[in-house]
């Protein structure tokens, strides 16, 4: 049996379905190119038939990516398969992913079809997809809650119709690890023709078992794992790519020395890019890529790691692109040193972005003595996101706020866009509210503040405050997140709001350009 496990990344499809993770076309292409650099075998670029916007992003990714297969999801109907085939026509390695539910629950209450009708739909859809594309994956949706005899028939039908990959989905994250491994083993033994195709896992994390179940599937003979960067995805998410890959690499002894084609030093960069694009912070305790994943706080651990890293580290941080050395930069450090540090931390910025981060770094160095890696990551993420991937949008020029316990707060804000300045003042019940009112007047587009949070990036008194805001367009056309970082929480709040506002305005402009279709 093949000793390589294919990594099928679905960050841009299942991952993007998670609330708050929506990306626009440019952001998806940027992420896709990073996934290609990471070495994923397949990337699911989207669901081409879902909307003109989805079709355009799948097509743009198919045009841009050369070394990974590019896949589009399709229901088991001709219209979806044709849209997928068209969207991925320019891909170097196109793949159509056809899915149909097979559990009685879904057949009866969702699809309202019989088992026989289900088998016929699989046969027709897979055969049609295979006529249009050399590689076709069939997913039995809700496989883990499907009667096993019927599931075997469903896969046999798909294989006979030309499927090259069959996917065993745990759609609602219901299976225990033992059950999932046993199911894959039993399919490997019973399904006719299964030796001619690749068996894939697709596990959701509703019970926190997605990675464990995927690895159990691999042990049982699966040679493709469907996963996402940081495990993002529907509800509780999918199996986390970095955990599956490093599980296989670190415990080769337990998983029979199976390999993946992933360039593991690109893992941290991929996670950071996802966080930068979506404005959603990586939880500090996230395995492999969280800021605490290689931090040793207790004296005993620090001493152990200094004398022999393996005492408390089961993998080298460098092997996944994380640097553990906290090189302290200060106000005398130059742009070159900062850029090197940013590269080590996984940020490959263009010169305009690097200069912008450097400016923010210098301003911070005037206010804060010790600048750590966590400060630099926070600055990089907020500054890169602050004016969008295309560098356009409103930027903060200056602000003045007044507030006190016996007065209304006032804010005067000056913003700049395309070299033109605009200024407004507003009153509010607090300084941040007043600042947000003034910004709303400048941009002339109403929004609703859905969520607002402040967190300290580091522990010292002069810590950076990280502000996270979520707004929705007052027309109800979408929600947008922003993150801002400063030692001044009002400045951090304004920066965070501007990220979100620029995303909202860019989405509104795209809608207008497409006549309201996107
Ligand atoms: O979870 C699931 O079943 C899916 C399918 C569309 C593959 O995402
Ligand atoms: Zn899924």
Residues contacting 169, CB < 8 A, separation 6+: 99, 139, 140, 141, 142, 143, 144, 202, 203
User: Which ligand is nearest to the Cα of residue 103, counting in written order?
Assistant: 1
Which stretches of 88-147 are DSSP H helices? 104-106, 115-132
User: Which ligand is nearest to the Cα of residue 71, counting in written order?
Assistant: 1
Nearest to 89 by CA among 33, 34, 45: 45
pLDDT score, position 346: 66
Residues lining ligand 1, CB < 6 A?
14, 99, 139, 141, 169, 171, 202, 204
Q: How many CA atoms lie within 13 A of 478 on its CB side?
A: 20
Domain 6-278 and domain 395-513, same fold? Reply is no
The residue whose CA has the least distance to atom 5 of ligand 1 is 141
pLDDT score, position 312: 80
C-alpha radius of gyration, the chain, whole number:
25
The residue whose CA has the least distance to atom 3 of ligand 1 is 171
Ligand 1 atom with least separation from CA of 139: 7
Tokens of 14: 């299942």
Mutate which of 84, 98, 125, 169 for ligand 1? The one with the most ligand atoms within 8 Å of its CB, which is 169
118 C-alpha to ligand 2 centroid (Å): 20
- The CATH number of 6-278, from 3.20.20.70, 3.30.390.50, 3.40.50.2300, 3.20.80.10, is 3.20.20.70
99 C-alpha to ligand 1 centroid (Å): 7
Ligand 1 atom with least separation from CA of 226: 7
- Strand pairing report for 165-170 and 198-203: parallel
Highest mean pLDDT among 344-358, 389-403, 410-424: 410-424
Q: Residue 318 in 3-state DSSP?
A: helix
pLDDT score, position 518: 46
Dump the DSSP string for 323-392: ----PPB-TT--HHHHHHHHHHTT----HHHHHHHHHHHHHHHHH-S-B-HHHHHHHHHHHHHHT-TTS-
The number of helix segments (H) and strand segments (E) in the chain equals 16, 14
Cα 150 from Cα 167, distance rounded (Å): 15
For 270-300, b/e burial (b = at least 16 CB within 10 A) is bbbbbbbbbbbbbeeebbbbbbebbbbeeee
Tokens of 7: 């990594």
The conformation of residue 450, written as its DSSP 8-state character, comes to E
Cα 399 from Cα 414, distance rounded (Å): 6
Percent with pLDDT over 90 in the chain: 65
The residue whose CA has the least distance to atom 7 of ligand 1 is 139
Angle value at C-alpha 466, between 319 and 411, nearest 5 degrees: 155
Q: What is the mean pLDDT of residues 224-229?
A: 98
Q: Which residue has the higher pLDDT, 290 or 20?
A: 290
Cα 371 from Cα 345, distance rounded (Å): 14
113-148 residue pLDDT tens: 999 999 999 999 999 999 999 999 999 999 999 999
Q: Please answer whether residues 168 and 143 qualify as being in contact, where contact means their C-beta atoms are separated by less than 8 angstroms.
A: yes
Ligand 1 atom with least separation from CA of 141: 3
- The CATH number of 395-513, from 3.30.300.30, 3.40.50.1980, 3.30.1390.10, 3.30.160.270, is 3.30.160.270
Instruction: Residue 265: count other Cβ atoms within 10 Å of its Cβ.
Output: 14
Q: What is the mean pLDDT of residues 446-466?
A: 81
Q: Which of 249-253, 272-276, 304-308, 312-316 has the lowest mean pLDDT?
A: 304-308
Place of tokens 């990306």: 23
pTM of the model: 0.80
Structural domain spans, the chain: 6-278, 294-325, 335-385, 395-513
Ligand 1 atom with least separation from CA of 238: 1
The residue whose CA has the least distance to atom 2 of ligand 1 is 171
φ, ψ for residue 291 (rounded to 5)? -65, -25
In what order do the strands lie in the sheet containing 465-473?
447-456, 465-473, 479-486
User: Which ligand is nearest to the Cα of residue 231, counting in written order?
Assistant: 2
- Strand pairing report for 224-227 and 136-141: unpaired
At residue 373 the predicted structure's pLDDT band, cuts being 50, 70 and 90, is confident
Which stretches of 392-518 are DSSP H helices? 431-443, 489-513
């Amino acid at each position: 049996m093949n000793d390589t496990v294919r990594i099928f990344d679905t960050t841009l499809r299942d991952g993007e379905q998670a609330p708050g993770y929506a990306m626009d076309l440019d952001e998806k292409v940027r992420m896709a190119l990073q996934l290609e650099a990471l070495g994923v075998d397949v990337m699911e670029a989207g669901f081409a038939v879902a909307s003109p916007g989805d079709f355009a992003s799948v097509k743009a990714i198919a045009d841009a990516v050369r070394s990974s297969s590019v896949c589009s999801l399709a229901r088991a109907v001709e219209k979806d398969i044709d849209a997928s085939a068209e969207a991925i026509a320019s891909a170097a390695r196109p793949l159509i992913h056809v899915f149909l539910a097979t559990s009685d629950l879904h057949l009866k209450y969702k699809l309202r079809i019989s088992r026989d009708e289900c088998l016929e739909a699989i046969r027709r859809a897979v055969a049609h997809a295979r006529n249009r594309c050399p590689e076709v994956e069939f997913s039995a949706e809700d496989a883990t809650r499907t009667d096993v005899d019927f599931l075997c028939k469903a896969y046999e039908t798909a294989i006979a119709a030309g499927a090259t990959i069959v996917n065993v989905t745990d759609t609602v994250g219901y299976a225990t690890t033992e059950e999932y491994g046993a199911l894959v083993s039993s399919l490997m033994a019973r399904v006719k023709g299964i030796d001619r195709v690749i068996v894939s896992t697709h596990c959701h994390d509703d019970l926190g078992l997605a990675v464990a179940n995927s690895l159990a599937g691999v042990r049982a003979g699966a040679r493709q794992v469907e996963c996402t960067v940081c495990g993002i995805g529907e509800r509780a998410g999918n199996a986390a790519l970095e955990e599956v890959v490093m599980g296989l690499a670190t415990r080769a002894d337990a998983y029979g020395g199976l390999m993946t084609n992933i360039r593991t030093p690109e893992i941290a960069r991929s996670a950071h890019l996802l966080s930068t694009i979506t404005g959603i912070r990586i939880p500090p305790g996230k395995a492999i890529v969280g800021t605490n994943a290689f931090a040793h706080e207790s004296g005993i651990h620090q001493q152990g790691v200094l004398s022999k890293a393996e005492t408390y580290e089961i993998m080298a941080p460098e092997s996944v692109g994380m640097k553990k050395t906290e090189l302290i930069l200060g106000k005398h450090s130059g742009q070159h040193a900062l850029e090197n540090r940013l590269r080590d931390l996984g940020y490959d910025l263009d010169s305009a972005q690097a200069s912008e981060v450097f400016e923010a770094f210098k301003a911070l160095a005037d206010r804060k003595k010790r600048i750590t890696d966590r400060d630099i990551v926070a600055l990089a993420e907020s500054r890169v996101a602050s004016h969008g991937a295309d560098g356009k949008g409103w930027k903060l020029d200056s602000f003045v706020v007044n507030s006190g316990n016996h007065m209304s707060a006032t804010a005067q804000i000056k913003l700049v866009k395309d070299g033109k300045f605009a200024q407004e003042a507003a009153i509010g019940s607090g300084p941040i509210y007043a600042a947000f009112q003034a910004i709303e007047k400048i941009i002339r587009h109403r929004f609703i503040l859905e969520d607002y949070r402040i967190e300290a990036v580091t522990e010292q008194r002069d810590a950076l405050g990280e502000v996270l805001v979520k707004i929705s367009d007052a027309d109800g056309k979408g929600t947008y997140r922003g993150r801002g970082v400063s030692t001044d929480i009002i400045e951090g709040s304004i920066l965070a709001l501007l990220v979100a506002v620029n995303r909202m305005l860019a989405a509104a402009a795209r809608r207008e350009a497409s006549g309201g279709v996107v």
